Amino acid sequence: MPELPEAETIGRALRGALTGRRIERVEIFSPKMRTPLAPLLTARLEGRRFTGVRRRARYLVADLDDGRGLLMHFGMSGVVRLESAAVPRRKHEHVFIYLDDGRIFRFECPRRFSLLEVSDLPLDGKWPSGFAGFGVEPLSDDFCGDHLFRASRGRKTSVKSLLTDNRVVVGIGNIYSAETLFAAGIHPARCASRLTRAECGRLAECAAGILRRAIADGGTTVSDFRNVDGSEGKFALHLQVYGRAGKKCPVCGEIIRSIRQCGRSSFFCPHCQK
DNA sequence: AGAGATACCTGGGAGC
DNA sequence: TGCTCCCAGGTATCTC
């Protein structure tokens, strides 16, 4: 389930693989997705050349030589592979983009929450207008304790909900919010407006540290996520609380619990997190 | 307006 | 074995 480290991992791999490559042909096998894959995708891609790959939040944009951009979001189960035609098409591979080096950019998405479209207008290196509402990048200098402290004032919602709110800070989902809150020693149900400035500082520091380590490990593979070469993200080996309900806390030995927040599971140690 | 709930989707696992 | 039910979760959209 791609969060920021997984999108960044795929983005880095695609930047090396796609930049400079010409698109020879596009095949759409199944148009059904979060927004239906349009024939426009084929028309706007064929004959174009990729000039680079950028990431913002969990989105990637592969820039094209006409100024437009191929916009990608991996939803929950989106996987990109770079393989030759020798490998048979998998059941949920919906799009093939044939490159001039003989490889195929294959887009797979069993749960069909992904997005793949070419911008209507040239982006010319900018972000689509819909990105304007996104919050700060958690690995930028703008993300700090002060930012979280300001964003949390007057918020009646939980700190878990604050951390996963894309308008506050982007790219943090269920896995990395759980790990961040554990590292910071803060209970996920704590009211955001009651956080102290020091706690906000700890949260920002822990979040950035965990995201950096996860990127270095090639992301987290719980079930679906794979890098473009099929390899798994190794950060799963370092998860302290996520998905570990009923097991012992690696720090104090207390049993890790799970609760439901905003229709999602949260994992925490009742002893270490207050 | 802000916050929570729900729909979207399919594979996999639990339970009977 | 085979059926049903539930859960996973990012995002858009709905409701209160």
CATH of the domain at A24: 3.20.190.10
What is the C-alpha to C-alpha distance for residues A116 and A72, in angstroms, rounded to an integer? 5
Are A9 and A127 part of one and the same domain? yes
**Is residue A2 annotated as a catalytic residue, yes or no?**
yes
Are A10 and A126 part of one and the same domain? yes
**Does residue A164 form part of some domain?**
yes
pLDDT of residue A99: 97
Residue A174 CA and nucleotide C9 C1' are separated, in Å, by 8
Three-state secondary-structure class, residue A197: helix
Q: Please choose, from the candidates A109, A95, A107, A112, the residue with its C-alpha nearest in 3D space to the C-alpha of residue A46.
A: A95
CA angle A95, A98, A103 (to 5 degrees): 110
CA distances from A59 to A30, A75, A110, A236 (A): 21, 10, 18, 22
pTM here?
0.94
**Is residue A110 annotated as a catalytic residue, yes or no?**
no
CA A51 to mean position of chain CA atoms: 22
Asked whether residue A130, judged by its CB, lies under 7 Å from any atom of the DNA or RNA strand C, the reply is yes
Q: Domain boundary residue among A89, A111, A132?
A: A132
pLDDT at A134 over 80: yes
Are A125 and A214 part of one and the same domain? no
Domain that holds residue A121: 4-132
The nucleotides of chain B lying under 7 Å from a protein CB are: 2-11
Q: What whole-number percentage of chain A has pLDDT above 90? A: 67
Q: Which residue has the tokens 């294959």?
A: A106
Are A16 and A50 part of one and the same domain? yes
Q: Which amino acid is at A74?
A: F
pLDDT of residue A39: 82
Q: How confident is the model at residue A262 (pLDDT cuts 50, 70, 90)?
A: confident
Model pLDDT for residues A60-89, shown as the tens digit of each residue: 999 999 999 999 998 888 889 999 989 988
Can you say whether residue A192 is alpha, beta or left, with left for phi > 0 and alpha for psi between -120 and 50 degrees? alpha
